[in-house]
Amino acid sequence: MTGLPAGRSVQVKVPATSANLGPGFDTLGLALSLYDDLEVTVRDEPGAFVDVIGVGQGEVPTDASNLVVRTIAHTFGVFGQPVPGLHLVARNAIPHGRGMGSSGAAIVAGIMAAKGLLDGIVDIDSDDLLRIATDLEGHPDNVAPALFGGLTIAWTGVTGPRHKKLMVHRGVSPLVCVPQSTMSTELARSLQPENVSRADAIFNVSRSSLLIAALIQSPELLLDATEDKLHQSYRASAMQETGDLIELLRSHGHAAVVSGAGPSILVLGSDPGQRAEAAELVAEHATTPWQSLMLAVDFKGATVIAHPAEALA
């Protein structure tokens, strides 16, 4: 086991994500150009201290119970390495509890930080990254796009979680409409039935298959391709305005879906003009404040840059 020198640091950048994308429940995810930035530095003193700037400031823990810190510690433990004292500076932009993958981003940030700090000591490959992230998050649909970028299909095979990254058609223009209210992923999942009909299952298989084609080749099919019968209607009672706005947007031809567990709305425009029209509709008809984020698809995923201690001397 090798102790890390004080002053060694890493910089990590992780994108927001939107999972499910309508019919692709627990399978499809998209990385978006909104980022949490993290700087982690090894200290002489034991323990962890976290400075949070932006989203979550004054709300999330700033000690060893912080999710990023716990993830770093877990990843070090997986590879049998002692955890050094740490100072974290987290500059967060991803909204919490809004269906944009904030918890997945925190987990990915911690794993990538550990990877950078252990560079040259332990080799952590992409399979390790996805396996550890899925173990901590519980399912891979958010952490896969956060790690690898683009559109990802995630599944669990005999060797563990796997993913396939696909490039998105350049015309696809994401819009995320974010309300002030939050939504618990656990609550959202509790509203779904344990079993669904054969007809609904077939419906979603057809739409999720079509959605892949729409996103990578034929954006004009996005409205039909984002229909869903597995989860959104069951969750609507817990986020009434989200459901009402999605119905309004879809009636005007916009491919609107619940982003992740909600309550944010993801609109997959086929061009920037269509996206702007969707944002105007939300502004005109929402009864509570909503923020419209006109984002791009992030194709890089999480990144880490390591700085050895001597470089900071």
pLDDT (tens digit per residue) in 264-278: 999 999 999 999 999
Residue 312 in this model has a pLDDT that exceeds 50: no
What global pTM score does this model have? Answer: 0.93
Residue 33 in marked binding region? no
Q: 152 falls in which pLDDT band (50, 70, 90)?
A: very high
What CATH number was assigned to the domain covering residues 173-294? 3.30.70.890
Question: Residues of CATH 3.30.70.890 domain(s) within the chain?
Answer: 173-294
Whether 269 has a binding-site annotation, put simply, is: no
pLDDT for residue 197 is more than 90: no
103 is in an annotated binding site: yes
Tell me if 85 is assigned to a ligand binding site: no
> In the chain, what is the greatest distance between 2 CA atoms, to the nearest angstrom?
65
Statement: residue 72 has pLDDT above 70: yes
120 belongs to an annotated ligand binding site: no
Distance, CA of 139 to CA of 88 (rounded, Å): 26
Was 99 annotated as part of a binding site?
yes
3-state helix, strand, coil in the chain (%, to 5): 35, 25, 35
Average pLDDT over residues 210-235: 90
Q: Looking at the domain that runs over 9-166+298-312, which CATH code has it been given?
A: 3.30.230.10
Indicate the burial class of 217 (C-beta count within 10 angstroms; 0-12, 13-18, 19 or more).
exposed
Percent of the chain with pLDDT over 90: 84
Query: Does the annotation list 96 as a binding residue?
Result: yes
Residue 60 has pLDDT above 90, yes or no: yes
101 annotated among ligand-binding-site residues: yes
CATH 3.30.230.10 domain locations along the chain: 9-166+298-312
* 105 belongs to an annotated ligand binding site: yes
